[in-house]
Structure 1
Amino acid sequence: MDFLSLPKRTTGNRVYGLTCIADFGTSMGELRNILADFHTMIDIAKIGIGSAYVTPNLRTKINLYKEHEIKPYCGGTLFEKCYYQNKLNEYIHYLHDLGIEWIEVSNGTLDIPLQTRIELISQLKESFHVIAEVGSKDCRKEMRISEWLEEIQLLLEAGSEYVITEGRDSGTSGIYEECGTVRCELIHELIKNIDPKKIIFEAPTPKHQMYFIKEIGPNVNLGNVKINDVLMLEAQRCGLRSETFYLEEHECNLL
């Protein structure tokens, strides 16, 4: 029974307002229980880092996500490992065999030239939905705001459906300072110049998530969300937490 006035959320097969979880080893039994209750709050599931390669019952896990209409894909670290070892053809076959339809092209660990990533995306978009990632996992490597803008725009133009802004699972690099503080000037420039519906902001903690909800709106795309936090995040999006309590539909100008 709906009787509260809440910010309007996207529903169903969302193309924005995405909640993208990071699965860093959720057991099958726990996953079945979580998805039974909360699958409608999850849109994309990343098998974190390169863990897919050593995950027991990986095919069963992938099929479980797909049964609940959640899009699974492998973390960018596995892509980079395959690129480094010149095994991308084998990786593509591996993903097709598993029935994975999404692929991440990243350079969080390796310094893969932008032009190389653009060329790879142009090829991969024929067989996969591509998610690109911008930013380094090394907090000592800072990109100028102009570089962020250029890379994101070029990666979208190459055929990426979304671009992820690096934040790590700790929220200490990329769009964050090493101490975990959001690089607010960077975020403001990104959403001013690029459609935020095409950006997935890595936001691993409730504090980070609340920043983006308040700054951009309840239907901001958020990534690296812990699987046990999806209900709390949905409550935050709906203005049902103190920090987002006064979030009203008319205030959500962007999303």
Structure 2
Amino acid sequence: MDFLQLPIRTAKPRAYGLTSIIDTGISYGELKNMLKDYGHFIDVAKLGMGSAYITPNLKDKIDLYKEFNITPYCGGTLFEKSYFQNKVSEYSNYLKGLGIDWIEVSTGTINIPLQERLNLISLLVKDFHVIAEVGSKDIHNQMSVSEWKNEIKLLLDAGCNYVITEGRDSGTAGIYDQNGNIKTNLISYLLEDLDYKKIIFEAPTPKQQMFFINEIGSNVNLGNVKLNDVLVLETQRRGLRCETFYIGEQESILPI
């Protein structure tokens, strides 16, 4: 019996409040067992890095995600590898053949000029839901806060459904320093004018996830979530963990 009053959560299919996991190689059998219990907490699954290109039973995994109403897509590194080798057209056909209709345009490993990315997005939106990533995996490649905001705005205006803020699967780049500390001034600045519902904040650790939940609310979009942490994250979103205990207590609340 439900008896607690908890923060309102958006329901699947969600437009925001997304939990986007990173799949770094879980086997088909393990994934099926995990999704049976936790699939209703997950909205998006990124096949991490360029792993999709060599993943066994890839089509079966993609179909399994879809069975649980989870959107699968390939990590931006695979896009960058294809761009670097002048194979973006072939990559697009590869995704279509797999039944993937989301594509990530990123510049985390190689430098793809912003205008070039905008041009690519204008072409890709004809066939895909496009998400773009801002920020570099190189901790020495720093952007000013104004550059972050300007780039996100331009990418959204170009037709991206969402923009991802780089954090790596380790939480040590982009919106974090090399020790995993959140660049809080940067986040505050981004939230001044941008719609948080259109931003997916990469937050691979519970500490980072708790920051965004307390700063923005239960329905913040979070990415690079580890599959084993999905239940813990939803617990945080519902105000059922000490660090997020009071989330939603001053908002309109409904039973779970």
* Shorter-chain TM-score tier: over 0.9
Which AA in structure 1 matches 2:6?
L
Q: Which residue of 1 aligns with 2:3?
A: 3
Q: CA deviation at 1:246?
A: 1.4
Q: How does 1:65-76 map to 2 (within 5 A)?
A: 65-76=65-76
Q: Which residue of 1 aligns with 2:229?
A: 229
Q: CA deviation at 1:192?
A: 1.0
Cα distance in 1 between the residues matched to 2:226 and 2:194 = 26
After TM superposition, what 4+ stretches of structure 1 lie above 3 angstroms from structure 2? Answer: none
Cα distance in 2 between the residues matched to 1:250 and 1:8 = 12
SS in 2 for 1:49: coil
RMSD of aligned Cα (Å): 0.9
Stretches of structure 2 that go unaligned for 5 or more consecutive residues are none
Q: Which residue of 1 aligns with 2:210?
A: 210
SS in 1 for 2:5: coil
Q: How does 1:28-39 map to 2 (within 5 A)?
A: 28-39=28-39
Q: Which residue of 1 aligns with 2:180?
A: 180
SS in 1 for 2:69: coil
SS in 2 for 1:33: helix
Q: Which residue of 2 aligns with 1:147?
A: 147
Cα distance in 1 between the residues matched to 2:138 and 2:72 = 26
Q: Which residue of 2 aligns with 1:98?
A: 98
Kept in 2: contact 1:8–1:249 (CA 8 A): no
Cα distance in 1 between the residues matched to 2:210 and 2:78 = 30
Q: Deviations over 1:92-126 (max 9, x none)?
A: 01000000010000000010000000011111011
Q: How does 1:42-57 map to 2 (within 5 A)?
A: 42-57=42-57
Kept in 1: contact 2:217–2:248 (CA 8 A): no
Q: CA deviation at 1:73?
A: 0.2
Kept in 2: contact 1:133–1:164 (CA 8 A): yes
Q: How does 1:189-204 map to 2 (within 5 A)?
A: 189-204=189-204
Q: Structure 2 vs 1, CA of residues 244 and 147 (structure 1 numbering), >3 Å: closer, same or farther?
A: same
Cα distance in 2 between the residues matched to 1:48 and 1:12 = 23
Q: How many pairs were matched up?
A: 252
Which AA in structure 1 matches 2:96?
H
Q: CA deviation at 1:250?
A: 2.9
Q: Structure 2 vs 1, CA of residues 249 and 197 (structure 1 numbering), >3 Å: closer, same or farther?
A: farther
Q: Which residue of 2 aligns with 1:81?
A: 81
Kept in 1: contact 2:237–2:244 (CA 8 A): yes
Stretches of structure 1 that go unaligned for 5 or more consecutive residues are none
TM-score relative to the length of structure 1: 0.97
Cα distance in 2 between the residues matched to 1:82 and 1:238 = 40
Q: Deviations over 1:146-180 (max 9, x none)?
A: 00000000000000000000000111110001111
Cα distance in 1 between the residues matched to 2:3 and 2:40 = 21
Q: Deviations over 1:51-85 (max 9, x none)?
A: 00000000000000011110000000000000000
Larger RCO: 1 or 2 (CA < 8 Å, sep 6+): 2
SS in 2 for 1:247: coil
Q: Which residue of 1 aligns with 2:109?
A: 109
Q: CA deviation at 1:248?
A: 2.1
SS in 1 for 2:120: helix
